[in-house]
Structure 1
Amino acid sequence: MRFSTFISAAATLMAGVEGYLFSVGVPKTIKAGEVFNASVTAGSLGVRQDVMVWGYTRYDYEWNNFPSIGSVGNIFAKTNLNEVLTGSYLGTIPNLKIPEGTQPGDYAIQAVILGYSGVYNQPSLETYFWNVTIGDVTSEERNWLQYTGENKRSCAVGA
């Protein structure tokens, strides 16, 4: 194999490597109507993540009444990940806000991420879940979720 052929093949494979969310942290307690940011760590992977749709759902932890996998609940934000995953390791998803008037209590924040991978840009959906409390103040303490965590699910779209 010629060296130029090898370099060309390697460059083609690397062209598909994009920024990927490895972990996302949201405040453990969030005040309804107050803007908060999600902290992210990112890396490189062969999946291109494009859009993240955020939602929230009330749940009862003691009664094991959790949100459905793949559901978003009440949508409160949409994030263009091309603007967030800019090649840096640490980042922020700014300007998230649970609507004012949301009743205090236990909630799940859910985010569905649309991504593409492979030569044919096979679409996939990933769902992330964070347990949070809607309360009087937005806390500095974070709930972190990693891309391999138990509160993350993914599936390929189509056949």
Structure 2
Amino acid sequence: MFEALKPHVLEVLRDSALSVPERLQEVCNLLHNEIPVYDWVGFYFRNGTLEELKLGPYAGDPTDHTVIPFGKGICGQVALSNQNFVVPDVAAQDNYIACSLHVKAEIVIPIFVDGANIGQLDIDSHTPDPFSEKDERFLEFVCEAVAHIL
């Protein structure tokens, strides 16, 4: 499934008829619609020079978490660690910001431009422990491809 989606991701990101935010929205829609366990897909980006992340394009239920301070929640931790963070069971995490009672698992992959962590791709799932190393590698591919248009 992931290998079949890669060309579609690249096609969306190369579509110069769309603005960058529109392309990112299309990537969110594609992942949300094509991967059954990806119940919420969104981008968070560093808010200028502030030590916080600001919500960008996303697909899924609306969230109140439009700004996340560095260090808070899974996304905020990735902003500091610069490492992928896979959470098989969000209930087992002390520093977790609940977006929905339905969310059971989360995966967050940082996006690097010129070596700097400028944002991240955040995926929530209503399925317990749905993410494998294949998800992680695929989402790294998506983030690397996104970095080229930012």
TM-score, normalized by the shorter chain, greater than 0.5: no
- Whichever of the two has the greater Rg, that structure is 1
Q: TM-score, normalised by structure 2?
A: 0.29
Higher RCO, 1 vs 2 (CA within 8 Å, ≥6 residues apart)? 1
Relative to its length, the structure with more helix (as a share) is 2
Larger strand share, 1 or 2: 1
Under a length normalisation based on structure 1, what TM-score does the superposition of the two structures give? 0.28
